[in-house]
Structure 1
């Protein structure tokens, strides 16, 4: 009995296959430009943190977040920068900081929180920090923020 037919990828013969690249528009910027912008943002965030401006640092890192398949280095650098901000924030200040952000930044922050939670061993941040931010963000932005993040195809 021949069972090799089970190893054939039948999707390669289908003309109507939906590719991941067709689900959303890729970041229109050049990948090298996106990486340079992420490095510049990281330097700006370090300066803001040294001055104690956590809200400004968070706003800076959440603007123009890199997305798409070809900017992995910029995504990683932006996540590391965000985790630095999250680690350096006192838990009593989180609610006021989150309230100062607009809806788009709420959604982007939630994406980064989920990405941080998906890291093996949670990376450089403890689980309590990410869950604390998630709790405060959900209180301010509501459940709609979670739904928008889960249904958005553009991953950070």
Structure 2
């Protein structure tokens, strides 16, 4: 009796656009992305041991994995970013954010929202994510939020 609810009516609609038509998929191979994410994680640990938080943040935000089929690389990148966020003093955040490019600020906002979307917020406390969000919004403005929300390339 409820079988009609299982029909995908979008298959009959000519105006439905699949994700592949809305944005280009990441051209890199998933195994290559995972290897790059592991290399970035090692470089970031090295930068953090030297106290170079800005350099570590720049590495993790440059050329992030996106699109379907690369979840392992995405999760490793998010964990690496969470490590950076947790180890940074709140007084050091504004100068670090000002040194980032607009694209890096937008990518950071995407990761902040991804971290907030995790059930229980994963390994990071809510105050850390909200603190970074507040400071990023002060530096980059509300346009950063809009760009992060409307970009279809999900990190």
TM-score tier, shorter chain, comes to over 0.9
- Give how far 1:16 is off: 4.2
- Secondary structure of 1:78 counterpart: helix
- Secondary structure of 2:36 counterpart: helix
CA distance in 1, matches of 2:40, 2:7: 46
CA distance in 2, matches of 1:4, 1:79: 40
Mark the runs of 5 or more structure 2 residues left unpaired by the alignment: none
Mark the runs of 5 or more structure 1 residues left unpaired by the alignment: none
- Give how far 1:22 is off: 1.8
Matched, 1:38 2:37: yes
Look up the match of 1:47: 46
Look up the match of 1:110: 109
CA distance in 1, matches of 2:118, 2:12: 35
Root-mean-square deviation (Å) = 1.3
- Give how far 1:32 is off: 0.7
- Normalised to the residue count of structure 2, the TM-score between the two structures is 0.95
Look up the match of 1:29: 28
Count of matched residue pairs: 155
Look up the match of 1:66: 65
- Normalised to the residue count of structure 1, the TM-score between the two structures is 0.94
